Amino acid sequence: MIYVNLDVMLAKRHISLTQLSERIGLTIANLSVLKTGKAKAVRFSTLDAICRALDCQPGDILEFREEEANG
């Protein structure tokens, strides 16, 4: 499963979601959907803008983790 670590990077960079929204020109609502992991997809242009604004790599924002088997 893919996890979004946007909140972690925001905290590391001491930037609020509002500030990021203003820097990259995306609404707070759209960033919130991404931050909470409810997004079904992310555009490369959005990921590029986030990485530029936070001075990070895509792998700092997105993380793959195996789902644990229930049993």
pLDDT tens for 14-70 read 999 999 999 999 999 999 999 999 999 999 999 999 999 999 999 999 999 998 777
| Contact (CB, 8 A) for 62 and 41 | no
- Model pLDDT, residue 71: 56
What is the per-residue pLDDT for 67? 83
pLDDT at 68: 78
In this prediction, residue 12 carries a pLDDT of 97
**Calpha distance 25→10 (Å, rounded):** 16
Class at the top of the CATH hierarchy for domain 2-63:
mainly alpha
- Which ranges of 1-71 does DSSP label H, i.e. alpha helix? 6-13, 17-24, 28-35, 44-54, 58-61
Query: If we measure between CA atoms, which residue out of 25, 23, 42 comes closest to residue 33?
Result: 42
In sequence order, the β-bridge partners of residue 2 are: 64
Claim: this prediction has a pTM higher than 0.95: no
